[in-house]
Structures are given as C-alpha cells and as structure tokens.
Chain A
C-alpha cells in the first residue's frame, strides 16, 4: 500500500511533461533575452554605428537610474502591491541633493546618506499606512507621489545646477575598459543594486517572504510569516531604491529639478512587468526587470538611431515596437496566460 502511495506521489510531478514547472516560469525570461538580442541584431543591420559594445554600455549608462528604481518597484510588485511614488521620489532626491549641496554647501558625503534615509523613511511610512489601516497601496502611494512632487516645488520650482566639484567629478568619471569602452560610476552602482536585489530575493528569508506574501497574503499570515513587517519593508526598499535612483539621476543630469523623472513610475512598473513579473504578485524575477529596462532602453535607442521620425511617429513607433515585443513574448512563451 505505502509503496503504491509513494509511486503515485512520485507521479504527481506529471512524469510525462517535458519541461518542469520551475523551468516553465523562466521561459518568459529566456524569451525576453532572445528577443532583446534579435532587436539588437536588427538594429545593427539597419543602423550605422549601432553594432558596437558602447551602444550596449550606453544602454546601461542611460538607464542605470531606471534600473535601480525598477528593482525597487519589483519588490513591491512581487508582493502584489504597487508604488506610484517612485518617480516623484526620484525627483525629490535630485532636488534635495542639489539644494543641499548647492544652496547650503553640504558635503555630498553627508547629503547622500540623508537622501537615502529620506527615501527609505517615506517608503516605510507609506508601507506602514498601507499595512496598518488596510488602505489600497494605489491611493497611499499616489498621495506619496503628489507629496514628493509637491515638496520638490516648495524647495525650488527652478532647476538647480550642481557645480560642486565632487559631484561633477563623480558624474563625469568614466571607467574605461578594453577598447576604449567606458561606463559611468552609476552603472556600477546600478549593477551592484541588481545583484544585491537578486541575492536578497532568492537567498534570504525576507526575499522568500516577499514571494510568499505575493502568492497569497492571508495564507502567508496564517503560515506565521511576518506579513506586516515584510509589507512595510518592501515599500521601504522601494523608497530607498528610488532615492538611490534619484542620486544616480542627479549624477546623470548634474542638476536637481522638480520636473525630473516625470512618469518614471510607469516606466519602472512597465519594465518590471515586461520582465515577466506578474502585477498580481508572487511571480517574477528581478533579472527579468533588468531585461525589461533594457527593452525600454533599446526601443528608445532604436528610435533615436532611426532619426527620421517626427514627434508623433516617435510615439507610435515606440508603441508599435512595444506591441511587437509583447506579442512575440507572449506567443513564444506559450499561449496560456501566466496568471491563474
């Protein structure tokens, strides 16, 4: 009898299925990577100067800050939440950094920790409100979005240029590799954030709690997982990442401005979702998010290289490329919707 059960149980893994379910969840990731390569190939054929490693590195240079922000958004989305405040938090961080450094002469080394703290603290606050009062994250983070952007304006409606030599120095430093290829310091930071996030999500208790929470919140609670603190923590992570993204953007732009990073929350969410994370939570990979960021960046690069598009055609082409990408991604990953 008991052998019967054991063998039946062994059969539970669908012995005839060719791909294990675990691998199956990674298919979208692989497909996305392949499509990205295809896109790069097509670009190389079509445009002069496209086929160069620097184009790829520029993708990182130009999107490092978005990557950091999107990594933060991934944490939140994995729990089934959403954080609309990230774009405004980025703007607030740039404004705050520039304001403190320029108008108050604070040293950058003091400003950056402070800005990161502000980001993490405001994320924590939002998470706390969401958890304690059971309010939908959409509204709370929308209020956070208004507030952060509003604070930018109250600090300064004008763009604040940073002439501080340390900041400018970091911003203009290029790390050269072989063949005259270079990246900027923010790229290194962004990649470090990505790796850290990967380790945290896949190899720490907190990370696994994030997935469990996204899978089923009430179950996670009944399983005795620290639902409240995990929830608060993901918003804190998101706040921290957007503050860091803001710092990186400050380096990128060498300025603080209330209108920076307009709509970046949508870019971050889109990158995450294109990277295969389900908006309903519980499923996704942070490496996918990186691919999502690259997809958005690649589309932008292709459009820039095209160089003949009028303003509206730019939009239409971006939309069309996105459409082609998404549809191929879906068709190649198997027709079943990933949800349910």
Chain B
C-alpha cells in the first residue's frame, strides 16, 4: 500500500534521516494505538503527519520523544538506535516538541515559560532582566507583544499556544515537532508561524507537523506520512497527492460529505431579525476584558464572532454564560431581564457554553466518556434526580455514534482519548442538553476534516431546528459558512455586526477585523 519512500533529492543531499522510527508498536490497556508504524525525518524538510482523530499521531510523537516507552520497534537518531527515557533527553538530543494540548505552567510568567530550563544566568543565579529581554525578543518573532512578566495562565489559549511554539523554536533543535500548533490560531498567526517554520527548515531543521488543515499541508509541507487506525498507511511526497487522495488515504475510503454546506441562509436571517430575539445584551461589560457591547441573538440564528487573536471573543461569550460576571449592562432573555451571575443561572435559562480550553475548563479527565457526556445534563437536574444508568448508557452510546467518538467505549477514561475525540465528547455534553442558545468557542479545534464537516452540518441543523448559536472560530471560512450574522471584535470592543449576505466576502470581513470599521 505504501509507495517506497524516497529521500528528498533537492535538499542538502544528505540521504540519512535525522530521526527514523521503524516498526513502532504501542499498546495501551485495551487499545493498540500504534502497530508497526514507521517514520523518517530528513534535515531541512517539513513533514506532515496526517490521520483521522485517534489515528495515533500524538501517540507516535510521544513515543518518539520519550513520553511513552515503546512496546516494540526501533528509533534511530542520526542512524543509530536510540531511545529517549523522557522529554528532557529528547530535548538534549536536539528534538524539541510542542505537544498537542498546551503543556506549559500557568503559574509562572510568560518569560519563564519560554525559557525555563535554559534561563540566562549570571554568577549561577538567574539573570532576570536578560531573561525578560530574551523572551520578549523571541515573542516579537511571532509578532506577539506580551508583557512577559505576566502569568501565563492569564492569557487566552491561543496566546499560550504561541508561547509554547516560541519555547520549542528557541531550543534551536535539529528536529522540531509540532502537534496541531495551529488549531486555535488565526490566519495571521498561522502565516507568521509558517514563515518561522520555513526559516528553520532552510536552516536545516527537520520539522514534523501535525494538522487537520489540508491547505496548510499543501502550503507548507514537503512530504506526508499518513496513519490510519494506528497503522502506517504510507509516506508520500506532497506532489503525489491531491487533497482528495490525501483524504481518501486517511480514511481509507471516499469522503462523501466533503462537499461542505454551500447554502448561506441569509434570507432566513433577514426574516429572523424581525422577530423578537431570544437573547438581548445591552451595554454588557466587564472591566479589563470587554467594553460595553450590544448583541441580539434570535432563535434559529447562528451568530459568528470574528476578531483577531485576543480580541475578546471568548470574553464576550463568557459574559453571556455567566462564567465571568459582568460589571454593568443587562441581559434579557425572551424579553425578560435576567441576571447571569454564574454558569448555573445561564444553564437554567437554556444557555450552553462549550469552552475552547477543553483540558482545563472542559473535561474531567479521570471520569469516563459516559460521565463526561452526561455531566452537564446531570448537573442541571441536580444530584437528587439521577439519570439512570441505562439512560446514561443510552445517551452516551447515541452521541458516541453520532459524533463518531473513538474508541467507542463509554467507560474509557476521557483523558486517554485523542485530542479530537475529547473535543467531540465536550460537544456531545452540551448538545445533549438541548440548549436554546449554544455558545461554541472553537468547537472544531483539533477535529479532523470528516468530523468537522459533520459538526458544521450539525450546527446548521440545530439552527434550523430553532436553536440559537453563538459560534466562535479562528477559521474565518467556517464562520462565514455557518453564520447568519457576524459580530466583529477588535481590542475588546465590538466594532461591527454584519449580516452575512453575498456582500460579505472574506476580504471585507478581514478589513473590518483589522481596521475596526466596515468598509
């Protein structure tokens, strides 16, 4: 099935891979995550690792970098067998990795997160000012002008992801591994990241790149290794593939539904705008995070939130959900004024909020998939009215099937699921509460293309059935495709609300986002 791999003839002329894996096997209790997988990384190439959610990409990376011991197979570094006992050794050997979830320490400063372990020192002590300066320099490479002394945890997930990338890049490694680094980045940040990656590649660094965005693969990568169900499907030069063949190889069949939603339901939108809104926010504000904004959301309407990284989209959503409490302004639901002080209040009024940060704000890692799925519904019912076990099983199975969560065992611990599957669990949790207003913050983060299309269809269907949806995504196309109206945020201020008709082109939206004014 695999085409015989050929080293890139163009670069460096060095045929020896800097990192090579052969016949890698990894068995988790009950799951054979990797079965005879091979991978070769040559200096000066960008190599894509592709596969569906749960195909084993992250596991492969973790095995290569010493997080998990392999159950079999060989790993060669510079042609010699070598195994890393922990990520530290991998780093020392020149393999620097950004793992899938943001893996930094929220309790220390941004500067430290970038440089910890390699702090500049003077007389054996940390040279703090040099460190801050160095960190700030590195961050500006990605055009990120943060206060480097601020705590990492106070920043949005996207910023954290960028900090993680900066950290990995600074190791100036032989090999740079990036596991879905772009999953919550805007196109601007993605472009900057790509510039950086190309620069590193030209310096001879081998880059392993995991993503679910096909265009990014074709834009950046030289070769692709495809995994399917924990097995090696093959390794290809990118030129040999088209998006369609790539997808076919990933899923092992035709993707019937890849043609995405084409209808833009703006006629409906106009018609809905005349009816009474489900939720009406007036001058809602929270000092330090969002300036006063007005927002109407009608039943059956999808409102997209667009904006740059850190423009305050998440904050707007959190206020509507009571996750943060507003300092001023008011919210009315179906014409009646309500106080949304805590998530409980919001949930009781039919609002659901699927957080962008599934690791720290979403899943309860130790609990099973079933428990995570029914959690919100159960919380709403209170502990005295338990869902019966059969009911829980039924719900869990239904949604596992509906969203194709794998492995399909409702009793698996959710922290053992792959990133994309965890995201689906989180979605399932809120979908099954049948909310009147569904707030989705980066719902397709880390989800493979097949599932992404499914989720988009689901959102459209829900809206069709009368659910109001507030949709936040770093992917402009997705926002444009799904939304009836788009609210644009800039610098924590809602600057425009556009009705998504034919006049709203990506370009127009981008200008609005960038300048804060609708042209």
Contact = CB atoms under 8 A, between A and B. Distances in A.
Interface of A: 1-2, 4-17, 20-22, 25, 199, 203-205, 208-209, 211-212, 214-216, 218-228, 282-283
Given A10-B145, A22-B151, A205-B117, A221 B112 contact: no
Contact of B491 (A2, A8, A212, A215): A8
A153 B38 CA distance: 60
B236 interface: no
B498 interface: no
Contact of B143 (A2, A16, A20, A209): A2
Contact of B150 (A5, A13, A203): A13
Given A12-B155, A14-B288, A208-B112, A223 B310 contact: no
Nearest to A220: B105
Nearest to B154: A21
B149 A203 contact: no
A10 B309 CA distance: 11
Nearest to B285: A16
Contact of A9 (B88, B128, B145): B145
Nearest to A14: B288
Interface string B265-305: 00000000000000000000001110000000000000000
A15 to B, nearest CB: 7
A5 B109 contact: no
Contacts of A205: 116-117, 119, 121, 126
Contacts, number: 146
B103 interface: yes
B76 interface: no
A6 B92 CA distance: 33
User: Nearest 4 CB-CB pairs, A to B?
Assistant: A215-B105, A215-B107, A224-B91, A14-B288
B126 A223 contact: no
Given A9-B145, A11-B310, A222-B87, A20 B150 contact: yes
A12 B97 contact: no
Contacts of B147: 10, 13
B156 interface: yes
Contacts of B310: 8-9, 11-12
A303 to B, nearest CB: 36
Contacts of A219: 103-105
A225 B116 contact: yes
B490 interface: yes
Query: Which of A9, A10, A13, A216 gathers the greatest number of chain B CB atoms within 10 Å?
Result: A9
B288 A17 contact: yes
20 contacts: A9-B145, A10-B146, A10-B147, A12-B155, A13-B154, A16-B288, A21-B154, A208-B126, A209-B117, A211-B105, A211-B107, A212-B112, A215-B105, A215-B107, A216-B107, A220-B105, A223-B113, A223-B167, A224-B87, A225-B117
Contact of A208 (B67, B119, B151): B119
A8 B116 contact: no
Given A16-B287, A17-B288, 9 more contacts: A4-B490, A5-B308, A8-B308, A9-B144, A11-B491, A21-B150, A212-B107, A223-B87, A224-B90
Tier of interface size on chain B: 35 or more
B125 interface: yes
B146 A5 contact: no
Nearest to B124: A204
Interface of B: 67, 86-88, 90-92, 97, 99, 103-109, 112-113, 116-117, 119, 121, 124-126, 128, 143-147, 149-151, 154-156, 159, 167, 186, 188-189, 192, 287-289, 308-311, 490-492, 510, 513-515
B145 A225 contact: no
A171 B88 CA distance: 47
Contacts of A203: 125-126, 128
A5 B126 contact: no
B116 A282 contact: no
Given A8-B311, A9-B159, A223-B103, A208 B144 contact: no
A283 B152 CA distance: 13
A218 B365 CA distance: 13
Contacts of B151: 21-22, 25
B289 A218 contact: no
B121 to A, nearest CB: 8
B91 A12 contact: no
Contacts of A216: 103-107
B159 A212 contact: no
A203 B119 CA distance: 10
Contacts of A215: 105-108
Given A20-B150, A199-B125, A219-B105, A208 B143 contact: no
A209 B289 CA distance: 31
Contacts of B490: 4, 8
A127 to B, nearest CB: 17
Residue of B92, B143, B156, B510 contacting most chain A CB atoms (<10 Å): B143
Contacts of B513: 4
A237 B51 CA distance: 47
A145 B154 CA distance: 39
A14 B103 CA distance: 23
B104 A22 contact: no
B65 to A, nearest CB: 9
A97 to B, nearest CB: 32
A223 B117 contact: yes
Nearest to B307: A8
